[in-house]
């Protein structure tokens, strides 16, 4: 492992001199300030910092949901900040799995149908979508809930379904934004264990969190303050 906490594996994520500005009325918000960051394939990284520090902005940028105002972002060696909107959508669909604090499940669809959505956007046939969605639900212990709608299951089960949706395409990069924030301690630990299992299976996992247990267990912790990386620390996994 290198001095700044990266492994010696190939860089999956490369940010160089990244700035992000937002216009809010007459004010210009400088959300990210000269971020330089490499994350190697196979890492599990916790991103921590106070509210308003730039964590969510960084996550949106890594997930190709927004573009840098300045600087460059390369994902698997590709300059994603130069891609068109349609090309960015394809990158999101094929390269990135998202886990959101609010689950973002569609209420009128079953859990299996929610999990299968990324495959629908990829153009997979119905039978393949169904089979892969059921396998993903089985991996998170929810095969028996496949036909239930989100309002028919618990908060922990909804979050596990969201993780199944993130892993159904076997993406190389998984981004989780406060994945345990709406859960009790036991359910939060179950979700954390699932994210670590995804990492052990080969996915690169980046977690934005206020949860000290996640920050303590991650092999690398990036601390952000005022839009800049304050500390980038390698840790002994616990």
Instruction: Please write the tens of the pLDDT for every residue from 22-42.
Output: 877 777 889 999 999 999 999
The answer to whether 88 and 68 have CB atoms below 8 angstroms apart is no
Q: Read off the DSSP letter of residue 36.
A: E
Is residue 126's pLDDT more than 90?
Answer: yes
Per 3-state DSSP, what percentage of the chain is helix, strand, and coil (rounded to 5)?
A: 35, 30, 35
**Number of structural domains found in the chain:** 1
On whether residue 73 sits in a domain, the answer given is no
On whether residue 50 sits in a domain, the answer given is yes
On whether residue 164 sits in a domain, the answer given is yes
Nearest 10 degrees: CA dihedral of 39, 45, 50, 56? 60
On whether residue 1 sits in a domain, the answer given is no
| Domain coverage including residue 215 | 43-67+88-234
Instruction: Please write the tens of the pLDDT for every residue from 91-114.
Output: 888 899 998 877 889 999 999 999
Residue 58: helix, strand or coil by DSSP?
A: helix
Residue 204: helix, strand or coil by DSSP?
A: strand
Has this prediction a pTM greater than 0.75? yes
Residue 141 structure tokens: 């212990």
| Nearest in space to 207 (alpha carbons), one of 44, 41, 9, 25 | 44
Q: Which H or E run includes 79?
A: strand 78-79
On whether residue 167 sits in a domain, the answer given is yes
Domain CATH for 112: 3.40.50.300
Is residue 213's pLDDT more than 90?
Answer: no
d(CA 36, CA 188): 31
On whether residue 20 sits in a domain, the answer given is no
């Amino acid at each position: 492992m290198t001095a700044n906490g990266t492994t010696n594996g190939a860089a999956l994520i490369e940010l160089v001199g990244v700035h992000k500005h937002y216009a809010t009325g007459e004010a210009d918000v400088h959300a990210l300030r000269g971020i330089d960051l490499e994350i190697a394939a196979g890492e599990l990284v916790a991103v921590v910092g106070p509210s308003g520090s730039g964590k969510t902005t960084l996550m949106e940028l890594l997930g190709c949901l927004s573009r840098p105002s300045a600087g460059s972002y390369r994902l698997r060696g590709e300059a994603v900040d130069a891609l068109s909107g349609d090309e960015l959508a394809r990158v999101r669909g094929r390269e990135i799995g998202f886990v959101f604090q609010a689950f973002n499940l569609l209420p009128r669809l079953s859990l299996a149908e929610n999990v299968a959505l990324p495959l629908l956007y990829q153009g997979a046939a119905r039978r393949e979508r169904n089979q892969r969605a059921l396998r993903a639900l089985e991996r998170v212990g929810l095969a028996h809930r496949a036909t239930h709608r989100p309002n028919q299951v618990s908060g922990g089960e909804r979050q596990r379904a969201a993780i199944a949706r993130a892993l159904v395409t076997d993406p190389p990069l998984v981004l989780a934004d406060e994945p345990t924030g709406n859960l009790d301690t036991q359910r939060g630990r179950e979700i954390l264990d699932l994210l670590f299992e995804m990492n052990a299976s080969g996915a690169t996992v980046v977690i934005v969190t206020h949860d000290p247990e996640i920050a303590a267990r991650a092999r690398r912790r990036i601390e952000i303050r005022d839009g800049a990386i304050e500390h980038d620390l390698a840790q002994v996994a616990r």
